[in-house]
């Protein structure tokens, strides 16, 4: 008990030093002396098991609460960057985490399955500094931008996200259309039942995007007809059964001059959520011409891996991504509610291939591309033939 008391007193002393260093107190004069009125530390909890230190304190009347958020650097200098400050009126909770981001995180779907099961379209991000796995539902937060330099982990994260979706959602509830303009990333997903096409040329992608545009118009008409607001309501309350549709395009900047395709991509970003049509776009170098205006605003989630400079980081709204070291493969800044540093899981191409084998159709079923008629649904799109190249290697990590 004495040791615990002493530790709490030392912890209180460190927080008071931070208050003094940041001038986070009131001051009144008495007998020509300046007397500080400090925030009152109400509670200190030292959690040895989870390596976490929690303070609860209140501030005196007249002290601006916003000044504590503005001076987070004071707490970072005292306790490090692995901290969190929450406010409830005049009461604050400051949490200091002893854990840090792992240097590597090997992909293991079984570890995440319980977390992902509550999401309709689960996107696995990775692990945060608190040791918690981070995931979100694309139905709630539609449209994802993944950006980062070659070798930073961007391509591996795409592989991980798509593989997780395939394992989490049945192929009759999710259809994927993959644009692989570099001819290097998505050959692993050929013949997967969820994947209705892998497109390596702009003219091939233009055809499927136009068909998607017609599909969205049909879905919109059905929602109007039944006076509903979301595709989930349509499936629940009518005889229609519309699957989610995911369009994932690697290196979307290569479509910069394809105005027709880019216009449809913007339309999906604007109205796709209600219609059950979602985007994942990736690029190595952020491009203002691509990420300007409506499209950028509608990409609700950003994953910023290593960026070359602050200008590029600001384009993707992940400032600080330029500070990530290239050897920190898989490290990113996730913008969901706010910027959070994440270590993404590493899924090798060989491991992904083994996982995906159980979700594939036999080769003979997809040897020929069927002609496209006006009456065909999206599911009738064949896969484009692609030249298979070796995947970009995301570090040399032991399984």
Please give the average pLDDT of every successive group of 10 residues along the chain, which has 399 residues. 80 94 90 88 85 91 93 90 88 84 87 90 90 91 94 93 97 96 90 96 94 97 96 95 97 91 94 97 85 84 93 90 87 90 94 96 59 43 40 35
88 and 137 part of one domain: no
61 and 126 part of one domain: no
191 and 288 part of one domain: yes
CA separation for the pair 67, 90 (Å, rounded): 12
* Per-residue model confidence (pLDDT) at position 50: 67
Determine contact, residues 52/82, Cβ cutoff 8 Å.
no
* Per-residue model confidence (pLDDT) at position 294: 81
Residue 397 lies in a domain: no
301 and 345 part of one domain: yes
Q: Domain end: 97, 118, 133, which one?
A: 97
Query: In the chain, what is the greatest distance between 2 CA atoms, to the nearest angstrom?
Result: 93
89 and 114 part of one domain: no
* Per-residue model confidence (pLDDT) at position 202: 93
* Per-residue model confidence (pLDDT) at position 325: 86
92 and 122 part of one domain: no
Residue 45 lies in a domain: yes
Hey, what are 381's tokens? 């799109």
SS3 of 272-311: HHHHCEEEEEEECCCCCCCCCCHHHHHCCEEEECCCCCHH
Residue 195 lies in a domain: yes
Nearest to 329, CA basis, from 160, 144, 122, 179: 160
Half-sphere exposure of 24 (CA within 13 A, CB side): 24
Residue span of the structural domain in which 139 resides: 109-380
320 and 362 part of one domain: yes
What is the C-alpha end-to-end distance of the chain, expressed in Å?
44
CA separation for the pair 224, 230 (Å, rounded): 10
Residue 367 lies in a domain: yes
DSSP 392: P
How many domains is the chain built from?
A: 2
Helix (H) or strand (E) holding 97: strand 91-97
Determine contact, residues 331/153, Cβ cutoff 8 Å.
yes
Q: Domain end: 67, 97, 127, which one?
A: 97
Helix (H) or strand (E) holding 199: strand 195-199
Residue 121 lies in a domain: yes
Residues in the chain: 399
165 and 242 part of one domain: yes
Read off the CATH number of the domain in which 203 is found. Answer: 3.40.50.300
Residue 396 lies in a domain: no
Q: How many CB atoms lie within 10 A of CB 369?
A: 14
* Per-residue model confidence (pLDDT) at position 393: 32
Q: Domain end: 52, 76, 97, which one?
A: 97
pTM above 0.95, yes or no: no
Q: What are 345's strand-pairing partners?
A: none
115 and 92 part of one domain: no
Hey, what are 364's tokens? 């003979």
Place of tokens 């240097």: 103
56 and 167 part of one domain: no
* Per-residue model confidence (pLDDT) at position 201: 93
211 and 245 part of one domain: yes
* Per-residue model confidence (pLDDT) at position 13: 93
Read off the CATH number of the domain in which 33 is found. Answer: 3.30.1360
Nearest to 148, CA basis, from 295, 328, 289, 269: 328
* Per-residue model confidence (pLDDT) at position 99: 62
Residue 222 lies in a domain: yes
Hey, what are 116's tokens? 């992902």
Residue 392 lies in a domain: no
206 and 352 part of one domain: yes
């Amino acid at each position: 008990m004495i040791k615990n008391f002493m530790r709490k007193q030392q912890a209180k002393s460190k927080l008071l030093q931070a208050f003094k260093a940041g001038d986070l107190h009131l001051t009144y004069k008495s007998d020509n002396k300046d007397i500080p009125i400090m925030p009152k530390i109400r509670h200190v909890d030292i959690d040895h098991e989870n390596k976490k230190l929690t303070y609860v304190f209140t501030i005196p009347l007249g002290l601006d609460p916003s000044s504590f958020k503005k001076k987070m650097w004071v707490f970072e200098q005292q306790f490090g960057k692995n901290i969190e400050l929450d406010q409830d009126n005049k009461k604050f909770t400051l949490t200091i985490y002893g854990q840090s981001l792992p240097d590597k995180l090997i992909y293991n779907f079984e570890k995440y399955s319980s977390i992902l099961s509550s999401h309709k379209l689960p996107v696995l991000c990775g692990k945060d500094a608190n040791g918690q796995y981070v995931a979100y539902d694309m139905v709630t937060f539609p449209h994802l931008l993944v950006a980062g330099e070659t070798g930073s982990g961007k391509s591996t994260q795409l592989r991980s996200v798509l593989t997780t979706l395939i394992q989490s959602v049945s192929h009759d509830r999710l259809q994927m259309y993959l644009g692989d303009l570099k001819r290097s990333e998505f050959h692993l997903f050929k013949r997967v039942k969820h994947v209705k096409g892998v497109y390596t040329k702009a003219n091939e992608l233009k055809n499927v995007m136009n068909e998607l545009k017609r599909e969205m118009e049909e879905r919109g008409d059905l929602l109007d007809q039944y006076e509903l607001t979301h595709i989930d309501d349509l499936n629940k309350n009518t005889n229609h059964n519309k699957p989610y549709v995911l369009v994932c395009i690697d290196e979307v900047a290569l479509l910069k001059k394809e105005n027709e395709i880019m216009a449809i991509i913007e339309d999906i970003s604007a109205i796709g959520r209600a219609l059950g049509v979602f985007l994942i776009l990736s690029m190595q170098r952020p491009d203002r011409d691509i990420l300007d205006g409506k499209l950028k605003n509608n990409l609700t989630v950003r994953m910023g891996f290593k960026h070359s400079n602050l200008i590029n980081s600001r384009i993707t709204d992940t400032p600080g991504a330029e500070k990530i070291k290239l050897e920190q493969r898989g490290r990113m800044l996730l913008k969901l509610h706010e910027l959070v540093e994440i270590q993404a899981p590493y899924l090798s191409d060989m491991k992904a291939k083994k996982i995906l084998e159980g979700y594939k159709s036999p080769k003979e079923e997809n040897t020929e591309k069927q002609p496209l008629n006006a009456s065909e649904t999206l599911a009738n799109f064949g896969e484009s033939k692609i030249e298979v190249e070796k995947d970009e290697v995301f570090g040399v990590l032991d399984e």
